[in-house]
Amino acid sequence: MENELTPIPCIFKAARSLINKVLLLTFETQELDEGTIGSTMSQIEKYGHLIFYPNDVKYSSENLEKLVDKPVAAFKSARTPSQKLRQLMWIYYTKLTGGDAGFEEYYAGQIGKLIQKWQEEINRLEENNVQT
């Protein structure tokens, strides 16, 4: 794992200057797989470089290789579509409310609405098929 980039989708939440001229940066993320969590936790108190792309900029192995001059084959998104949807919903919710308190309830409600919508669509199709 040494010298390997670890991509972590995140929100840059805060920056604070400390008395010893250190800049303390705070990032928030969610839904990391166990490998990424382990890799990230193993880096605590180690020196490295932070590469942060603001907004939802698309990245590729090629443009990061040019940026850091290292192979980054491991820098490919392994997120499932449902994980991406949850992340987008989390970003929207935190921007809407200014925090993530209550997100789980919000998420469950939104997923419930999606399930209900698709069930209604299935029912509509079934009704149309029976009538023909």
| Paired strand residues for 27 | 12
* Of 91, 13, 3, the residue nearest 52 (C-alpha): 13
Q: In this predicted model, what pLDDT tens digit does every residue of 93-124 receive, in sequence order?
A: 888 898 878 888 999 999 999 999 999 999 99
Q: Could you tell me how far CA 101 lies from the centroid of its own chain?
A: 17
CA angle 78, 58, 24 (to 5 degrees): 85
Cα separation of 9 and 54, whole Å? 10
Q: In this predicted model, what pLDDT tens digit does every residue of 39-52 receive, in sequence order?
A: 888 888 777 777 77
Whole-structure pTM value? 0.42
- Domain chopping of the chain, boundaries: 1-77
